[in-house]
Structure 1
Amino acid sequence: MKQVATFNRARLIFMVVICLTYREVQGQYGQVAGAWNITYQDGGNEQQLTISNDIQYVDLVIHNVDLTSGADFYFEVHASDPKLASIEKRIERSELTGTPASWQGPVPVQTRHFGFTSIYVTLNTSDGANAERSPDDLTLIIARRDRLDEKIFAYTASALLLLMFLNLGGVLDLERLKAIMLRPIAVTIGFCTSYILMPVLAIAIGYCFLAKHQELHLALFFTALSPSGGLANICAIFLKGNVNLSIATTTINSLMSLAIFPLWILILVRTIFTNTELDVPFLDLAGSALALVCAIALGMLARIFLPKTTAYIFRFLKPFCACVSLGLIAMTVGINAFAFKELTGMIYLAALFLPICGYFLSYGIAKLLRCSAADALTISVETSVLNMTVPIMLLQHCFDEVRADMTLIVPITAALNSLAMMIVIYTVRRIFGWNKNLDGDAFASKVELISFDEHIKEEIIVSHISYQNEKTAL
C-alpha cells in the first residue's frame, strides 16, 4: 500500500510539472506575433507625470509586430503598481499598421500616489490560450505638484528660527560661556557624540531595519548627522540643563558641519553607499550656520546694551520658544503629511531606536568622563534631539524629487520620536521631583523664566503686610 501511495504521489507531481511546463511554453514570448516590444514615443525609457485627478496621457509605441501568424490577438497596457497609477487601454490587432506592424498613440493614465512604477504591455489571444508580456518595462515617475505653501513655509520657518535664536542669545551668560570655551571638555564630548556616536548608530540600526532600502538607510544617516538645532536648546531649558553649554554646542556643531559632512560622505561613498551619488549643499549649510551665529550674536549684544529688553526675554523665553518650536514642528508635519503613507513598521523602529540609544549612550559616556549631572544631561539632549529640517534639505539635494519625497518619513518620524522621548523624560522628572537645577550656575542669572516685575512684587508684599496688620488688629 505504501508503494502504491508513493507511486500515485510521484505521478501527481509529474503531471503538475508537465502542466506547468506546457502552460509556460504555451505563453512563451514571441510565438504569436514575433519579437515585438514597446517604447515611449520620445525614445526615452522613463517619463514623469504628476499626481492629479485629471487623466494624463503617455505616448506609447508598440513596434516590430509580426502579423503573419494569422492569430487573432490584442494588446493591453498595464501599470505594475495599481496603488500609484491605473491604466486601462486595449489595442486591437486591426489598429496596427505597417510592415512590420506597429501602433503608436496616447495611453490614458490615472495617477494616485507619488513614486515609481512601470508600464508593461501584454499580448492576449482572443481564445485565451496564450498570453505574452513585453520583454522590457518602461519607468513611470509620478511626482507631486509644486505647492506655494511649501515655499511660504520655508521662509516662515527660517524667520521664526532666527527669532528664537535671537532670544536664546539674549539669555547667554558671557562669563559662563567664556569658562566653557576655555575648558571645552563638555563641548568636545557633545561634538563627538553628535558626529561620531550618532552616525555610527544610524549605520548599525539601518543595517538591522533598513538594509534592503538604501535610500531610507541614507535618510536615517542624514538624520543622525544633522546638528540638533533650537529644539534641543528648549528641551535643555525645560529639563534644567546647562543652557549655555547647549547653545554653545549647537553653534559649534552647526559650524563644524561644513567640514564633517563632506568627510562622512567621502567615507560612505567609498564603503557603504557605493552606488549613490552624494553631494553636500555647502551654500545652504553655510548660510544656515552664518544666520544662526548672527542671530545669537545679536541677542548677546541686546543683553549688553539693552538689559531691560533681555529682562522681558527672560520672563517669556520658555513659553515663547516652546510655542515657536511646536509651531515649526506642526507646520513641517502638516506640509509633509503625504510622507506618512510611506511609514512602515521597520521605518518606525529604526526612527525610534536612534534617539533612545543616542540619549542613553551619550549620557553614559558623559558621566564616565566625569561631567557634571547638568552637563551630562545637556550633552545627551543635544545628541538625541533630532533635527528634521537639515536632513530634509540634504535629501532634496541628493535625490530627485520623488525619491526625496519617499524618504522624508525617516527624519520626520525620528524627530517626532525624539520629541516624544523628551516629553516622557520631562514628565517622569516632574512626577518624581527630579526636575531641579542640578548646577546652580547652569542657567545664567538664576532669574525665573516667568516672573513678576519687581514693583509688582513689592506691591504684593506691602498688601500682604497690611492684611496681616488688619487681621491682628481685629
Structure 2
Amino acid sequence: MKKVATVTRLSANFIAIIFIILLSLCLASHVQGQYTYGQIAGAWNISYADGSTEYQLTISQELQEVNLQIYNLDLSSNIDFHFEIHADNEKVSHVDKRIERSDIIQQQNGSTTSSNSVWQGAVLVQTRHFGFTNLYVTLHPRNGAAVERSPGDLTLAVARKDRLDEKIFSYTASTLLLLMFLNLGAVLDLQRLKAIFLRPLAVSLGICTSYILMPALALALGYCCLPEKQELQLALFFTALSPSGGLANICTIFLKGNVNLSIATTTINSLLSLTMFPLWMLILTHTLFVNTELDVPLADLALSAGALICAIGLGILLRILLPKTTLVIIRFLKPFCACLSLTLIGMTVGINAFAFKELTPWIFLAAFFLPIIGFVVSFGLSKLLRCSASDAITISIETSVLNMTVPIILLQHSFDEVRSDMTLIVPIMAALLSLLMMAVIYTIRRIFGWNENLDTGAYNSKVYLVQNYSEKSELPR
C-alpha cells in the first residue's frame, strides 16, 4: 500500500511539474508576442490620401487603386522593417501590399531622421463581392520584435455595378402591378364597398394590424433575432410597415375572401402610408435609432398611391362603360392575375439573386415568423371582434402578405448603395415566405374542402358574371 501511495504521489508531482512548465511556456510566448505599438517607428497611423473615412469601389475583375498614406513615422531608429497592407474580409476584396523602409526613405528625399515622415502611394485592390471590409497595416521588424498593427482600420465599401436590367425591371414591375389593379377595379362591387365604409370595423382593424401590430412585431423579432445589426432590424421594420399591395388582393381571391374589403384596405393603407411612415420614423429616431437618419420618400409613396387609385378607378370605369370587357376580365381574373404574380415574383428573385448570398439562419427565422405570427394574431383579433369568416381571412391576408417593393425603396433612401444591397434579403425573403404561407394555407383548404364561399362578401366569379350579364341586359339600346 505504501508503494502504491508513493507512486501515486510521484505521478501527481510529475504531472503538476509538467503543467507548470507548459503554463510558463505559454505565458512566455504570450508576453513575447503580445501587441506592442510605437517601439519601432513611432506613433504611426494610416488614412486615405483624400482624408475620407470610407472609400468606395465597384466589383470588377480588374485591379483598382486606392491611395493610402502612413503618417507620423519616426525613422530615427536603425531597426529595419517593412509594412504589409491587408483586408480583413477576403470574401469582399483582396489586398496584398508590401512597403519596405527604403520606399519611405525615398519618399522623404533620403532623410532618415525625420520624426514626421509620411509614405503615400497607390494600393491595388481586387474586389470580389459587394459589402464592407477593413484595410489594416502591420509593421514587421527584422530583429524579431513583436509585430505592430495600425491603431485604426480604414473602411472599404465595395458596391455592385449599375445594371440596365434593374431599371427595366422597376418599370416592368410597375406596369404589371397597375395592370393587376386595373383588373381588380373591374370586379369591385360599389354597393358592397359602400356597406364596408358604412360599417368600418373590418377596415379599421386591417389598418390597426398593418400599422401597429406588424411594426411592433417586427421590432420585437429584430431585437431577438438580429441583435446589434441595426440595418437588418430597420429592413425588417420597413417590410412590416409597408402596405401589402396587389399580391394580397390576389391571395384574397384564391382563398375566397372579401375582395371589396381587400382592395379598400389596400387603397386606404397606401394613402395612410403618407402620414404613418413619417410618424413611425419620428418615433424611431427619438427612441431606438437615435443616431440614424431615416429618409421617407414621400414623393415615391404619393406617386404609388395615386397610380393605384387611378388604376382601380379605370377598372371601375371599364365595368360601367365596357361591360363586355369586364366579362372577359372576370372570367379570366384568377389565372391572369396568377400569371402576373408569378411573373413579378420570378423577375424579383432573378434580378436580386445576389442578395441571397447574405442570407443567414437568423435572417430566415425573423422573415419566417413575421408573416406567420401576423396572420395568426390578426385572424384571432378578427374573430374576437366578431368579424365574418371572409372578413377575418381577408384581414389576415392583408396583414401577413408582405410587400417587397416599398421596403426596397425605403432602404435605398435610408442607406448608401452597399448597405441597402446587404439588407435587401430581408424584405425579399419575408415576402417570399409570406406567399409560401398563403400557398400552404390554400393547399390545405383545398385538400380538406374548406376553400368555399363562407358568406356573401367572398369573391365568386359566377355571381359577378351573372350580375354583369344582368347589367348588360338593362343597358339602353
- Deviation by residue 1:258-293 (Cα, 9 ceiling, x = unmatched): 111111111111111122111211111111001101
Q: In structure 2, do the counterparts of structure 1 residues 328 and 126 end up closer, same or farther at CA, with 3 Å as the change threshold?
A: same
Which SS does the other structure have where 1:104 is aligned?
strand
- Counterpart of 1:392 (choices 380, 400, 408) is 408
Which amino acid counterpart does residue 49 of structure 2 have in structure 1? Q
In 1, are the aligned partners of 2:331 and 2:461 still within 8 Å (CA)? no
- Counterpart of 1:91 (choices 80, 99, 102) is 99
- Structure 2 partner of 1:72: 80
Which SS does the other structure have where 1:135 is aligned?
coil
- Structure 2 partner of 1:273: 289
- Structure 2 partner of 1:470: none
- Structure 1 partner of 2:224: 208
- Structure 2 partner of 1:409: 425
Higher mean C-alpha displacement, 12-21 vs 138-147: 12-21
- Structure 2 partner of 1:62: 70
In 2, are the aligned partners of 1:172 and 1:444 still within 8 Å (CA)? no
CA distance in 2 between partners of 1:22 and 1:73 (Å): 18
CA distance in 2 between partners of 1:12 and 1:90 (Å): 36
- Counterpart of 1:319 (choices 328, 332, 335) is 335
Higher mean C-alpha displacement, 262-271 vs 365-374: 262-271
Which SS does the other structure have where 1:90 is aligned?
strand
- Structure 2 partner of 1:157: 173
- Structure 2 partner of 1:287: 303
In 2, are the aligned partners of 1:171 and 1:444 still within 8 Å (CA)? no
Deviation at 1:6, TM superposition (A): 4.8
Superposition map of 1:11-410 within 5 A = 12-24=22-34, 27-97=35-105, 98=108, 99=114, 100-126=116-142, 128-410=144-426
Which SS does the other structure have where 1:48 is aligned?
strand
- Deviation by residue 1:143-188 (Cα, 9 ceiling, x = unmatched): 1111111111111111111111011000001111111111111111
In 1, are the aligned partners of 2:187 and 2:464 still within 8 Å (CA)? no
Which amino acid counterpart does residue 90 of structure 1 have in structure 2? R
In 2, are the aligned partners of 1:167 and 1:317 still within 8 Å (CA)? yes
In 2, are the aligned partners of 1:62 and 1:104 still within 8 Å (CA)? yes
Which amino acid counterpart does residue 62 of structure 2 have in structure 1? D
Q: In structure 2, do the counterparts of structure 1 residues 444 and 305 end up closer, same or farther at CA, with 3 Å as the change threshold?
A: farther
Deviation at 1:207, TM superposition (A): 1.3
CA distance in 2 between partners of 1:155 and 1:419 (Å): 23
- Deviation by residue 1:111-162 (Cα, 9 ceiling, x = unmatched): 0111111111111123544311111211111111111111111111111111
CA distance in 2 between partners of 1:407 and 1:224 (Å): 14
Structure 2, unaligned stretches of length 5 or more? 1-8, 109-113, 471-477
What is the aligned-residue RMSD (CA, Å)?
Answer: 1.9
In 2, are the aligned partners of 1:314 and 1:447 still within 8 Å (CA)? no
Which amino acid counterpart does residue 395 of structure 2 have in structure 1? I
CA distance in 1 between partners of 2:48 and 2:40 (Å): 23
Which SS does the other structure have where 1:271 is aligned?
coil
CA distance in 1 between partners of 2:85 and 2:133 (Å): 13
Which amino acid counterpart does residue 80 of structure 1 have in structure 2? D
CA distance in 2 between partners of 1:284 and 1:34 (Å): 54
Whether 2:441 is the aligned partner of 1:425: answer: yes
In 1, are the aligned partners of 2:390 and 2:457 still within 8 Å (CA)? no
CA distance in 2 between partners of 1:29 and 1:407 (Å): 37
CA distance in 2 between partners of 1:46 and 1:198 (Å): 35
CA distance in 1 between partners of 2:399 and 2:410 (Å): 19
Which SS does the other structure have where 2:332 is aligned?
helix
Which amino acid counterpart does residue 354 of structure 1 have in structure 2? L
CA distance in 1 between partners of 2:18 and 2:165 (Å): 69
Which amino acid counterpart does residue 23 of structure 2 have in structure 1? I
- Deviation by residue 1:405-437 (Cα, 9 ceiling, x = unmatched): 111100000000000000000111111111111
Higher mean C-alpha displacement, 270-279 vs 388-397: 270-279
In 2, are the aligned partners of 1:85 and 1:111 still within 8 Å (CA)? yes
CA distance in 2 between partners of 1:382 and 1:128 (Å): 67
Which amino acid counterpart does residue 160 of structure 1 have in structure 2? L
Deviation at 1:7, TM superposition (A): 6.1
- Deviation by residue 1:353-378 (Cα, 9 ceiling, x = unmatched): 00000111111100010011111011
Q: In structure 2, do the counterparts of structure 1 residues 70 and 445 end up closer, same or farther at CA, with 3 Å as the change threshold?
A: closer
**TM-score with structure 1 setting the length:** 0.91
Structure 1, unaligned stretches of length 5 or more? 455-474
In 2, are the aligned partners of 1:234 and 1:318 still within 8 Å (CA)? yes
Which amino acid counterpart does residue 60 of structure 1 have in structure 2? L
Which SS does the other structure have where 1:354 is aligned?
helix
Deviation at 1:334, TM superposition (A): 1.1
Whether 2:449 is the aligned partner of 1:439: answer: no
- The aligned length equals 450
